[in-house]
Structure 1
Amino acid sequence: MKKFLGPYKDLPNNVFVIFFARMVNSAGHFVMPFMAMFLSNKLGLSTEKTGYFMMLAAFAYVPGSFIGGKLADHLGRKKIFILFQSLAALSFIPCAFLGNSTVIPWLLILSSLFGGAAGPANGAMVADLTNSTNRKEAYSLLYLGHNLGFAVGPMVAGLLYKNHLPWIFIGDALTTFLSLILVAVFIPETRPDEEKIAEIHDDLEINERAEGGSLLSAMIKRPVLMTFLFCIMLYSFVYVQHLFTLPMQMQQFFGDDQGAKYYGFIMATNALTVVIFTTLVTKLTLKLKPIFCVALGGIFYAAGFGMLSSISHLYLFIFSTFVWTLGEILVSTNGMAYVANNTPVTHRGRFNAIVPIIAEAGHALGPLWTGKYLMTHRVLSVWQLTLYGAFFIALLLFALHYVENGRTQKLKQEEM
Structure 2
Amino acid sequence: METLKLYWKNYISAYQGLSQATWLLALVMFINQSGSMVLPFLGVYMTTVLDFSLKNAGIVLSTFGVGSILGSFIGGWLTDKFGSFKIQVSSLFLSIPFYLILPFFDTFETLCISIFFLSLIKELFRPANSASVSYYAKPENITRAFSLNRMALNLGYSIGPAIGGFLAAVSYNFLFYTNACMSFIAGILFIFYFKNRKGNTPEKVVSKKAKDIVKVKSAYTDVKFLLFSSFIAIYAYCFFQILNTLPLFYKNVALMNEKEVGLLMAFNGIVVFVLEMALVHFAEKKFTLSANMIIGSLFCGAAFLVLLPSHVQIVLYLSIFLISISEILIMPFASTVAVNRSVSANRGSYMGLNGISFSMAFVTSPLIGTFIAQNYGFTNLWIFNCIMIAISSIGFYFVMKKM
> How does the TM-score come out when normalised to structure 2?
0.78
Q: 1:5-404 maps to which residues of 2 (within 5 A)? A: 5-35=12-42, 54-93=61-100, 95=101, 105=111, 109-130=116-137, 132-161=139-168, 168-187=175-194, 197=202, 199-200=203-204, 203-207=207-211, 213=217, 215=218, 218-220=219-221, 222-241=222-241, 257=255, 267-287=265-285, 288-310=287-309, 314-370=313-369, 379-404=378-403
Q: Is the 8 A contact 1:291 1:335 kept in 2?
A: no
Aligned-residue offset at 1:332 = 1.6
What is the root-mean-square deviation in Å for CA atoms of aligned residues? 4.2
Q: Is the 8 A contact 1:291 1:334 kept in 2?
A: no
Aligned-residue offset at 1:6 = 3.3
CA distance in 2, matches of 1:23, 1:201: 24
Figure out how many residues of one structure are paired with residues of the other and give that number: 391
Higher relative contact order (Cα pairs below 8 Å, separated by 6+ residues) = 2
> How does the TM-score come out when normalised to structure 1?
0.76
Stretch deviating more after TM superposition (18-27 or 358-367): 358-367
CA distance in 1, matches of 2:37, 2:97: 14
Aligned-residue offset at 1:162 = 6.3
CA distance in 2, matches of 1:251, 1:36: 10
Q: Is the 8 A contact 1:297 1:326 kept in 2?
A: yes
Amino acid of the structure 1 residue aligned with 2:236: S
Larger gyration radius, structure 1 or structure 2: 1
CA distance in 1, matches of 2:166, 2:262: 17
Q: Is the 8 A contact 2:283 2:292 kept in 1?
A: yes
Amino acid of the structure 2 residue aligned with 1:278: E
CA distance in 2, matches of 1:4, 1:351: 29
Amino acid of the structure 2 residue aligned with 1:224: K
Q: Deviations over 1:45-101 (max 9, x none)?
A: 8658776655544433443433332221122211222123212224444x39x9679
**Residues 381, 345 of structure 1: CA spacing in aligned structure 2 closer, same or farther, 3 A cutoff?**
same
Q: Deviations over 1:200-238 (max 9, x none)?
A: 59744335888785x3xx432x33322211111111233
CA distance in 2, matches of 1:326, 1:50: 28
CA distance in 2, matches of 1:398, 1:45: 44
Q: Is the 8 A contact 1:208 1:345 kept in 2?
A: no
Stretch deviating more after TM superposition (14-23 or 328-337): 328-337
Q: Is the 8 A contact 1:24 1:179 kept in 2?
A: yes
Q: Is the 8 A contact 1:76 1:191 kept in 2?
A: no
Q: Is the 8 A contact 1:151 1:271 kept in 2?
A: yes
Q: Deviations over 1:155-183 (max 9, x none)?
A: 33444456677654443233222222322
Gaps of 5+ in 1: 405-416
Aligned-residue offset at 1:330 = 0.6
CA distance in 2, matches of 1:357, 1:166: 29
Aligned-residue offset at 1:283 = 2.7
CA distance in 2, matches of 1:150, 1:92: 17
CA distance in 1, matches of 2:272, 2:397: 24
Aligned-residue offset at 1:149 = 1.0
**Residues 76, 189 of structure 1: CA spacing in aligned structure 2 closer, same or farther, 3 A cutoff?**
farther
Q: Is the 8 A contact 1:136 1:334 kept in 2?
A: yes
**Residues 400, 130 of structure 1: CA spacing in aligned structure 2 closer, same or farther, 3 A cutoff?**
farther
Amino acid of the structure 2 residue aligned with 1:120: P
Aligned-residue offset at 1:242 = 5.0
Amino acid of the structure 2 residue aligned with 1:231: F
Amino acid of the structure 1 residue aligned with 2:130: G
Q: Is the 8 A contact 1:92 1:107 kept in 2?
A: no
**Residues 161, 383 of structure 1: CA spacing in aligned structure 2 closer, same or farther, 3 A cutoff?**
closer
Instruction: Give identity over the alignment, percent.
Output: 20
**Residues 397, 189 of structure 1: CA spacing in aligned structure 2 closer, same or farther, 3 A cutoff?**
farther
Amino acid of the structure 1 residue aligned with 2:277: T
**Residues 118, 378 of structure 1: CA spacing in aligned structure 2 closer, same or farther, 3 A cutoff?**
closer
Residue of structure 2 equivalent to 1:410: none
CA distance in 2, matches of 1:312, 1:101: 32
